[in-house]
Amino acid sequence: MLLFPFCNQKEVRGENTHPATDTVQTGHAATKTPLRITYHIDSLKDKELLAAFKQQYTPEQLHIIGALNRIDTQRIRVGSVVAVPDTFLSSFIEYSPFPEQLDLPDTLQNTEKIILIAKRLQLFAAYENGSIVRFGPVSSGKKSTPTPSRLYYTNFKAKLKISTVNGSWRMPWYFNISNHGGIGLHEYQMPGYPASHSCIRLYKADAIWIYNWAKNWVLTADGQQILQHGTPVIIFGEYDFDAAAPWKAAADNPDILQITTAEWSELKDRLAAIQP
């Protein structure tokens, strides 16, 4: 199986654009690298700077800034230090480091839906019939309770799940991916770093979308055996808790926001493990 990191190029809208670099070899095929977006850091030290910052950008652009920093937009406030793209594209999905198309092996041609989650970049991408259909930020497990990188499947769901560990943990639009591990995808606050107890936090709109889009598992009548898995969820890579968040380092190194060769290799292995 060949997994091509970059496929079709997207049209860029905005004044500050950066030309694509030369083609690179991936597997046996030559593909173009994506448009290289540069970033700068804004420090909103006081109310005046914050007010000027919010007046400078449209609500759509502020949403992109929030998503690029893996935070809720309302968390852009006095004291925030945010990475801002020098090029504003038409939507956040155009900043995706994931390929537009996944080149799946023959054994997975009937795998209609797949969710990929890159822990280092704190991003997810959802694919349907091999094409990316949704993309957004996440907050995975914190350092003391990290989310294990491996292959999961969506199991059961609830519009509101109350944690059995702590009754104060309320998880809207919950989709379980580890029945025994208690790991799920759900809406929750997005603080800009991995902060959960091992679940995958999402924006509300993304959580609702996955809740309605992903498939439930199918069990035997006694609930003891799985007859059919739900949607595959591949969590891969590792977050470096001792370094600056990749998006905060993008001003000095924009390429840090791309998926690495090692991460693609890991992802390829996990794709091969999916049970068709």
Q: Where are the chain's structural domains? A: 98-241+259-272
CATH superfamily of 98-241+259-272: L,D-transpeptidase catalytic domain-like (2.40.440.10)
Cβ 98 vs Cβ 134: under 8 Å: no
pLDDT at position 12, please? 32
Cβ 207 vs Cβ 173: under 8 Å: yes
Q: What angle do CA 203, 205, 210 make, to 5 degrees?
A: 95
| Token duo for residue 156 | 């059961």
- pLDDT tens by residue, the chain, 276 residues: 333 333 333 333 333 333 332 322 233 233 345 567 999 999 999 999 999 999 999 999 999 999 999 999 999 999 999 999 999 998 889 999 999 998 887 777 778 899 999 999 999 999 999 999 999 999 999 999 999 999 999 999 999 988 776 667 789 999 999 988 889 999 999 999 999 999 999 999 999 999 999 999 999 999 899 999 999 999 999 999 999 999 999 999 999 999 999 999 999 999 989 986
The contacts of residue 123 (CB under 8 Å, 6+ apart) are: 96, 97, 98, 117, 135, 136, 137, 138
Q: Measured between alpha carbons, how far is 215 from 113 in angstroms, rounded to an integer?
A: 8
Alpha-helix runs per DSSP H in 214-260? 246-249
Select from 271, 258, 273 the least CA-distant residue to 102.
271
- Cα pseudo-dihedral 160, 162, 168, 169, rounded to 10: -80
Q: Measured between alpha carbons, how far is 171 from 159 in angstroms, rounded to an integer?
A: 8
The H-or-E segment that residue 186 falls in is strand 183-187
pLDDT at position 236, please? 98
pLDDT at position 151, please? 97
pLDDT at position 166, please? 66
Cα 207 to its chain centre, rounded Å, is 12
Select from 239, 242, 240, 256 the least CA-distant residue to 118.
239
The structure's pTM equals: 0.86
The contacts of residue 97 (CB under 8 Å, 6+ apart) are: 5, 34, 118, 121, 123, 257, 258, 259
Query: In 150-172, which positions are buried (b, 16+ CB within 10 angstroms) versus exposed (e)?
Result: ebbbbbebeeebeeeeeeeeebb
Q: Measured between alpha carbons, how far is 91 from 251 in angstroms, rounded to an integer?
A: 20
Query: In 103-129, which positions are buried (b, 16+ CB within 10 angstroms) versus exposed (e)?
Result: ebeeebeebebbbbbbbbbbbbbbbee
For 240-244, the CB contacts below 8 A with 24+ separation are 240/120, 241/143, 241/194
Task: Count CA within 13 A, CB hemisphere, residue 269.
Answer: 10
pLDDT at position 29, please? 31
